[in-house]
Amino acid sequence: MSFETFADFLAMGKHGLYVWLCYGVAVLVIAGNVLALRRQRRRFFREAAALQKRREADSA
């Protein structure tokens, strides 16, 4: 451990804003990639299911 206290860890020796900004944005970007894929996947299944229902209704 290279920091004495948790407050030191957050402060990063006066560079806290820069370091945490970078990691924060990185988490957002990575999460954005993953969540976008999950949303698209769900939308595909929702739309495909709706389409199939409509087709079944048409043929019935």
Tell me the C-alpha distance between 56 and 47, whole Å: 14
From the CB of 60, what's the least distance to other proteins, in Å?
16
Contact characters 1-40, other proteins, x per CB under 8 A: xxx-----x--xxxxx-xx-xxx-xx--xx-xxx-xx--x
SS3 26: helix
What is the Cβ-side half-sphere exposure of residue 31, based on CA atoms within 13 angstroms? Answer: 6
From the CB of 27, what's the least distance to other proteins, in Å?
9
42 neighbors 48 (Cβ within 8 angstroms): no
- Residues contributing to the site for other proteins (CB under 8 A): 1-3, 9, 12-16, 18-19, 21-23, 25-26, 29-30, 32-34, 36-37, 40-41, 44-45, 48-49, 52
